[in-house]
Each structure stands twice: as C-alpha cells, then as structure tokens.
Structure 1
Amino acid sequence: MTIELRRMRRTGRLAGAVMLAGLGFAAPAMAQDAGGAERIPYPVDTVTLVTHSSPGGGSDVFLREMSRFLGQIIDANFVVENVSGGSGANAMAHMKAAATDGSVLYATTPTYVFTSLLSNVEASYADLEPVVNVFYDPQVIYTRADAPFTSMAEVLDKAKAGRSAWGAANPGSLERLTLENLKRLTGVDAAIVTSEGGGDTMINVLNGTLDVAIGEIQELRSQLDAKQVRLLAVASEERLEAFPDLPTLKEGGVDLVVRKFRGLAGPKNIAPEAVAAWEQAIPRLLENPEYKALYSASTLVPAFVPHAEYGPFTAAFADEQRKVLTEAGVIQ
C-alpha cells in the first residue's frame, strides 16, 4: 500500500529522550533562534503537543525531539502529552474538545485516518483541522540482534514452516496494515501482535516474543546504537542513504512500498494566527543545523506541506484508503 506524496512534490515544498506518559518539558525562553532571527509571535504562552503513542513510540519521539527546538523559533513553551488508547481514538476525542486558540495540537500520522475508517469512534480525522505536514518517515522491519534471521527471506521461511509472530504499533495503524499486506503478498501465515506504541513493540522484539516488527528509525535509534536490534528491510522505493546496505522489500521480491507522513493537526476552526505561526516556523525548524542532524540520523525526510494543502492531502489519502479497504472487504 503506497502513500504517494506527489502532491507534496508538485508544490515544490519537499525540502532537499523518552519521558513518562503525560509529562513534558518547557523549551527555554529565548529572544532569538540559533540563527539570530526573532521568535515568531504566538497567541498563547504554552502549547501542548498531543500524541496517541505511548512513550518511546514514533510520534512521541517526533514531538519530544521537535519540542527541544520549537521554543527557539516560536514565542511559546512546549509540552508533550501522551493520550493513548483506542489506536488514536482517545486522542482524537481529546482534540475535538480542545480549545481552538492554538494551545493544543496533535501529531498526525496515517493511524488517525485508519482508526477513523476501521472503528466506530467518538471523533474522527474529519473532526480535526490539518495544520502542516513536517516529515515523511520510512518504515523498516527489524529483529533483535541475536535472532536467527539475517534477511526477510529467512523470516518468511519460518512463517511458511510454522508459527511466527510479527509486531506493529496500534491495531488501526499503517504498520499493522503493512504487515497484513506483507502476509497477503507472500502467502505466509503469521500472527500480528499490536500495542499502543512502538516502545511496547520494541520490548516484545527484544524479549523474543516477536520474531520481527515494523517501525521507524527514530524509535529504534538507541537500540541500533547499542547493537540490540538488526534491520532486515525497508519498505521504500529506494535504499536509505543512511543505511545503504539495507535492502528494500522490493529487492527481496515483495512489491510493497509505504510512506508515512508526520505532521500536526488542531481542533476545527483553530486560530488563523496559530496556523500562520506554524507555517512560518516549520521551514525554519527544518533548517536548524542541530535539528537537521537529528532527523537526518533518523532518516526522516523533510516534507513541509502548508495548511491550505495539508487538508486536501489528508482528505485524498483518506478517500484512497477507504477505497482500498472497501475493495478488500475490510469495511463496507
């Protein structure tokens, strides 16, 4: 299942840790950013960035790393809050009831669309206002370092021969559906185990409960550096520049490519002043040398999409996935 970002490319705008749940931190107040530019005015003093992910999950890491630099660019303090449960359903309900003054924003990924399509939720993606997109996040399949797998072919051979368990974050996530597609395309039978975030999935890979899992480099960074996990494949069109020896699934004979977007949404009718501030801030953030080093190491691809285009992009993605799920008989 491919999420095409053609719309992003056509705009010409595609640019060339973990804390306890519910806790965050305030970025230090600074008059200027690292480049000497004045901070962008914002309508409130404190902004809460909400994620449905548990601590250590991709969205949690995304928000916490970004928050370290936002206070240098926007004249506000930033706090991260984990509102887990229901594969994003609880977080969407929380956002629907949030103030519209720009004080609360949500980390968007395909999960909030899939959860809306697959479940009877109190609030859906359509109840939120897409503000800006920030990144495209490649998906990788990994195992523990001492596992008996050195390639995807060996993983698939085990699944064909007997019991195998694969992990993904959230039942309604892009990761879960990617693994379901992997099973369908290869004809293997593996149990897919989901959790409320990449951190929980990681634990089950490391303790041997799961043979493999799918996730992002940013949530695997510490374990990769400690040589606790081994990457087996990436679900992208081409190999990652930072991991040139990591083969794509297509190189292994599986025609499967996915692209995961990462951005921000607010409640409907979010203050225009807040939207304008984010549209100014994200390009500056992506050019911050220290932040660029962080996200480049995590293979995040800058993909800024402004407010006027992010809403139509999200709607088009949802329509595409609704069609796919309907044709597959998953939904009616």
Structure 2
Amino acid sequence: MPYREKPPAISRRRFSALAAAGVAAAPSIARAQAPWRPSRPISIYNPFAPGGVTDVHMRFLAERAAKTLGQPVLIEPKVGAGGTLAAAQMQHAKPDGHTLACMSINSLRYPHYQDVSWNPLRDFSYIIGLSAYTMGIVVRTDSPWQSIEDLITAGKREPEKYNYGTSGAGGTGQLLMIEVEQATGSRFTSVPYKGGAEWMQALMGGHIDFIADAAQWAPFVEAKQVRILAMATEERFPKFPDAPTLTERGIKAVGQSPYGLVGPKDLPQNVVSAVHDAFKAAMADPEHDKLLAQFIQSSWYKSPADYRAFAEKYFHDIKPILVKAGLAKG
C-alpha cells in the first residue's frame, strides 16, 4: 500500500472550540434566512393627496397584502415637494419593514434641480414596481377647443394666458407640456396641485383651462364631462380609440410616470422579499386589473432588482432632458 501523509492532528481543545463556533453560528444563519413577519401595523407613505388614483390603488393593494403579512397595512398621505416627500421620509425611518413609501418617478428627477438631503439610488431599498399612470391632455366638454391643434393655436396667440393642472413643478405633466411648447412654440401656465382629486375639482370648477397629467380624468370622460384632446402615449389607448396621440399630431412627447414601493436603505433581504411577495400576490387579484382599467392605468410589475435597475438608468437618462427643459443645470 502506498504511503499517505497523515493530516495534521487537531487537538481536543481546538476541535471543541471549532464545534462550539459552528453551533453558535447556526442559529444566526437560520435567523437570517427565516421569513419575515411584521410585529405591528405597517405604514406606507403616499406622495399624493387622499382620494386620488394613487391613494385608491395603494389602499386596494394594502388591504390584500395585510392578509398575507398578518398585520394591518396603513396608507398615510405625505404630500409635498412635487410628490417626493413620501419617499424622502425614508431617510428618517428604521429599516425594519414597518415604514415604507410609495415612490413616484418625480423622486428620480427632483435631485437634479433641487437641493435635497437624500439620493434616490443610495437611500432607498427598492421593493416592487406597481403601476404606471397614463398621461393625456383633456378639457371640459364645454371648452371651445375641439382638438390639440386648437389648444396649440390658443397658446401661440395668447402666450401663458391659459392654465393647466399638474402634480407639481418638474412632474411628468409639466415636463410633457414643456416638450409640447418646445415643439410647437405655444406657451401655457402650469398650476401645481397635490393630486388628481384636486386638479379635477379645479378643472370642473373652471379654475384651470385644461389638464396635462395622469388619468384621474378617465371616469369624467366616460361621463361626458371631459374631452380628450390627445393622449401622451406611444400608441392610441384601446379604451379611447378615437383619441389621437401627440406623436400622431407631429409632437414627439410621451409621458412616462411609473411608481412603486420602496423602503429605507439597508432593508434586510427577508423583509424586502416578504413585502414584495405580499404585494405581488395582491396584484394578482382579478379585481386589480379592473381597478387599473377604471383609471386607464397598466400594471408595471418590477422585481426588486429590476426596479433598482430601472431607477438607476432613468436617473441618469433624465438629466439631459431636464437640462434641455431649463429645469436643471448641465
């Protein structure tokens, strides 16, 4: 039999120490991999006012996610700073899963033209992408403007006379109208609101002339109280097949405005997974698609990794557009 060198002997003392270390390490590994369960109600900050599309949508999902998580999920309005206040509050929250936020896409724009104490790529844990607003330009049915061309003509003839409602400075609605103005030479005046419920009240009350923002207006179109001049989508929207897109009218402008759920930075992976899974299950509810269809929104599911990848790309890609619009410095 060939000679084999014996492995070095391990003393009993060292063997006992290694064994003890292994036993001590095992529980911590188990704890790290254990599914997370909240120990008290979860609060989710909403960047827009109560009664708006985001509020309705988040409450729908929260009610169903609560059944999976075993604790109530509460939606709390944190309105302000162009729809970025809710996510900004995450820098003050403990990374324990009990305080989260719905993040609008404005949070990926705001730091480019405002001094803020947070960084959207460094200070958030991305959990799940939820939905995307469908953008359009609408007027009351008693408006003299029958087409987008009529609106553009009015904006050229009397610059800045006519007002439109949006979610705030630098939001998707204002960026959309800046692109329209740059493409056509027309000029309008933006009026910021805290959410869709407010700007619809302003439109129906005659305080603004039109809306260029998310489809809180969809039920009003169906009730024949509001008329669509143009959709800010890549293609005509199936629910309103007669409404042309801006692109069809020679105006290259598409409104992009998704939102999702984020938490504080350093949120443990088991917390991210538990919340993600609960909300993904809520999105699978058959009533979910019906709710989104009511406001002509689409599902925008993103896993934690995909949501972060989207945020990183958009944050860098949007800056040149903001600079061109005069909202950010180069």
- TM-score > 0.5 by shorter chain: yes
Task: Find out whether 1:278 has 2:266 as its counterpart.
Answer: no
Q: Of residues 194, 198, 207 in structure 2, which corresponds to 1:200?
A: 198
CA-CA distance at 1:80 after TM superposition: 0.9
Find the counterpart in structure 2 of residue 314 from structure 1: 311
Pair 1:123–1:92, CA change in 2 (3 A): farther
The answer for unaligned runs of 5 or more in structure 1 is 1-39
Equivalences for residues 15-34 of structure 1 within 5 A: none
CA-CA distance at 1:327 after TM superposition: 4.8
Find the counterpart in structure 2 of residue 264 from structure 1: 261
8 Å contact 1:134–1:303 — kept in the other structure?
yes
Distance (Å, rounded) in 1 between the aligned partners of 2:163 and 2:313? 33
Pair 1:228–1:73, CA change in 2 (3 A): farther
SS of the residue corresponding to residue 322 of structure 1 reads: helix
The residue identity in structure 2 corresponding to 1:265 is V
Distance (Å, rounded) in 2 between the aligned partners of 1:76 and 1:137? 29
Deviations 1:86-111 (A, max 9, x none): 22453333221012111122112211
Q: Based on CA coordinates, which of the two structures has the bigger radius of gyration?
A: 2
CA-CA distance at 1:50 after TM superposition: 0.8
8 Å contact 1:47–1:79 — kept in the other structure?
yes
CA-CA distance at 1:213 after TM superposition: 0.9
CA-CA distance at 1:228 after TM superposition: 2.6
Task: Find out whether 1:90 has 2:85 as its counterpart.
Answer: yes
CA RMSD of aligned residues (A): 2.1
Q: Of residues 165, 168, 175 in structure 1, which corresponds to 2:163?
A: 165
8 Å contact 1:45–1:75 — kept in the other structure?
no
Find the counterpart in structure 2 of residue 136 from structure 1: 132
SS of the residue corresponding to residue 45 of structure 1 reads: coil
The residue identity in structure 2 corresponding to 1:146 is D
CA-CA distance at 1:328 after TM superposition: 4.9
8 Å contact 2:173–2:213 — kept in the other structure?
yes
CA-CA distance at 1:47 after TM superposition: 1.4
CA-CA distance at 1:307 after TM superposition: 0.7
Distance (Å, rounded) in 1 between the aligned partners of 2:59 and 2:222? 19
Alignment TM-score, normalising by the size of structure 2: 0.81
Alignment TM-score, normalising by the size of structure 1: 0.81
Distance (Å, rounded) in 1 between the aligned partners of 2:132 and 2:86? 21
Equivalences for residues 1-332 of structure 1 within 5 A: 42-126=37-121, 127-162=123-158, 163-217=161-215, 219-329=216-326, 330-332=328-330
Distance (Å, rounded) in 2 between the aligned partners of 1:172 and 1:328? 10
CA-CA distance at 1:69 after TM superposition: 2.8
Distance (Å, rounded) in 2 between the aligned partners of 1:134 and 1:205? 28
CA-CA distance at 1:225 after TM superposition: 4.6
CA-CA distance at 1:320 after TM superposition: 0.5
The residue identity in structure 2 corresponding to 1:191 is T
8 Å contact 1:52–1:82 — kept in the other structure?
yes
Deviations 1:216-267 (A, max 9, x none): 22x2344345433222221111111222222111122211122221211111
